[in-house]
Homo-oligomer: A and B are copies of this chain.
């Protein structure tokens, strides 16, 4: 799916100007949707009496029994949806035990990412931890250190919350114009599920954080011993120690049996297979917050502890993996999110950012959660340059690539939240391009 870096050169600075394909005043949606062919044929069949499937040339499934469902006590997707899977990029990591699996955003709709296709990143494989043997230890600058079993954690007052999780490296390959041709790869390091778990604040109050305790270290039980520092204010704000996602217990690759949920902040701090929380008076400067997850700025200095996932949005349909298939009425589908809280508005452009129209936001609108947006439009068959930009409740407007690069340069890997552009050609195919 990936183009070489060089291939992007001809795209950079390319601007295709097309007229905004607003709905003309004349034809009804009926004409726009079906063109007339399908409808005309149907009308003939219907005019002659009740239509049978064979009248319109399709199979009749009422003539034979379907299959039993009992053999799938845990159900699976339709075999016709075999293309809706997580996908990895083999050249991206050195070993299979350290890999990344991207969410097929172009196939999804709504705020629930199915657990089976949720983005995941692991650094040393996914450990297989039995819930009975798992422990969470809380220690350091606390009055009463604590070791909890899973059964004990389930006895603390729980909450349920929808949150998006985005990797700081999402869209990271785009900084220098890799232009991967698929939204699954440009934006698929994200998912959104409903968690149940215990507020971290509850556990810390149980332990009694000492006045000198200003930082929290979270450590995973995997072979990478994934370890990150967090300020105590965030720990006491909205973090969760979660044991379920989308109704059921966490999936293995999402941290079974326990993960830290850090709403609105980069996925790397959402420590999986959570086994230890330590309270200290300063950050620990672990590997993943020094050599990784820092942002090299244009002046050569590195920005550290840039946890917040800034407002971002992307059109997923049409996109390179999901071409337009017909002229006339169409629906543009996309997702928006912001670590600041609520998505306030999403604008859509069909002409590369010249004209913008507010998209339709679908509820429920929840803080630090994906927001589905739709834009109903008419495609006249001419090329389009599709863009979306989100504005969140703080007034932050998603930047263009030029605005972002003016401040951050092109040395960064993380925190690319620039506006994405898809070039739709006359055949309906979409391509990852950048406009100046």
Chain A residues in the interface with B (C-beta under 8 A)? 28-30, 33-34, 38-39, 41-43, 45-46, 51, 53, 56, 58-70, 72-81, 84-88, 96-97, 99, 101, 107-118, 120, 122, 124-131, 133-135, 137, 139, 144-149, 151-152, 154-160, 162, 193-196, 206, 221-225, 244, 246-253, 256-257, 273, 275, 325-326, 328-331, 333, 360, 362-364, 366, 372, 374, 376
Contact = CB atoms under 8 A, between A and B. Distances in A.
B222 A62 contact: yes
Given A33-B152, A34-B148, A139-B46, A67 B330 contact: no
Given A78-B256, A130-B80, A251-B75, A65 B110 contact: no
Contacts of A111: 160, 194, 247
B86 A68 contact: no
Contact of A118 (B75, B116, B127): B75
B246 A112 contact: yes
Contacts of A156: 29, 33, 329, 331
A335 to B, nearest CB: 11
Given A42-B145, A58-B135, A152-B34, A116 B75 contact: yes
A330 B155 contact: yes
A252 to B, nearest CB: 5
A7 to B, nearest CB: 26
Given A156-B29, A364-B162, A66 B118 contact: no
A155 B329 contact: yes
A109 B107 CA distance: 26
A256 B99 CA distance: 33
Given A43-B145, A107-B248, A326 B76 contact: no
